[in-house]
Amino acid sequence: MNTSSPATIVVAIDGPSGSGKSSTSRGVATRLGLRYLDTGAMFRAMTWWMLEQGVDVHDPAAVAAAAHAPVIRSGTDPQAPTISVDSRDVSAAIRGQQVTDSVSPVSSVPEVRARLLALQREIIGAGGIVVEGRDIGTVVAPDAPVKIYLTADPEARAVRRAAEVAGTDVLATRESLLSRDRIDSGRATAPLTMAEGAHHIDSTAYTLDEVIDQVVGLVDAVR
């Protein structure tokens, strides 16, 4: 039964780091001609700014006090997504190890989540977008007609993530991912969890194209 048009569809894709969210989300958006939003990049951008400003990222009060300051803009072209802070392109800078190690404590601060939630909903607007993150189906867009919870086994996730940065140790990456899972799943505000009504896809045994096919099929079923 068709309930959503391509112009208004919202596809929410949640899951832990290394599960294939970004590649899948961009692939789905490209294939369906939709916009794309990486909310994780927004949290990384906020974290990068905090580090640049010398804010103690392990001091929730300090992070909360500064959360309103940076101007964060996200491009929505799935083939060339962009992220800037105060008009500076930080697409590469936010992927550094220091940001990776600091993003969970920054993301757990309610004031940060509230600030970025407002920006995310503004970008989503009337729809026509694939949105990826950790709380899209539960908090950001709970009414999205298509909700996906994408996972993969820890070993596969570690191999994928380590492959993104040459010379990265797979075992250390695996431990880092599992540590972040514990933090993200245990935080009081918008924890990582599968949304009600979400379709669970374990990407471990599938190619990227096969996962994209599954998500596109779910989108086609509701529009």
Q: Are 37 and 11 in contact (CB under 8 A)?
A: no
Mean pLDDT computed over every residue of the chain:
90
pLDDT exceeds 60 at position 83: yes
Per-residue pLDDT band for 165 (boundaries 50, 70, 90) equals low
Lowest mean pLDDT among 94-103, 112-121, 165-174: 165-174
For residues 125 and 96, give the distance between their C-alpha atoms in angstroms, rounded to a whole number: 30
What is the reported pLDDT for 48?
Answer: 98
- Residue 214 scores a pLDDT above 50: yes
Q: How confident is the model at residue 2 (pLDDT cuts 50, 70, 90)?
A: very low
Structural tokens at position 118: 């407002």
Evaluate if residue 181 carries a pLDDT over 60: yes
Q: What are phi and psi of 111, to 5 degrees?
A: -65, -35
Q: What does the alpha-carbon distance between residue 94 and residue 49 come to, in Å, rounded to a whole number?
A: 9
Q: Which two tokens stand for residue 42?
A: 């927004």
Instruction: Write down the pTM of the prediction.
Output: 0.87
Q: DSSP letter at 93?
A: G
DSSP 157-204: HHHHHHHTSTT--HHHHHHHHHHHHHHHHH-SSS-S-PPTTPEEEE-T
Strand spans (E) along 40-177:
72-74, 83-85, 88-89, 129-133, 146-151
Residue pair 155/174 in contact by the 8 Å Cβ criterion? yes
Of 93-107, 115-129, 183-197, least confident by mean pLDDT is 183-197
pLDDT value, residue 1: 41
Please report the domains of the chain, with CATH numbers, ordered by start residue: 10-218 (3.40.50.300)
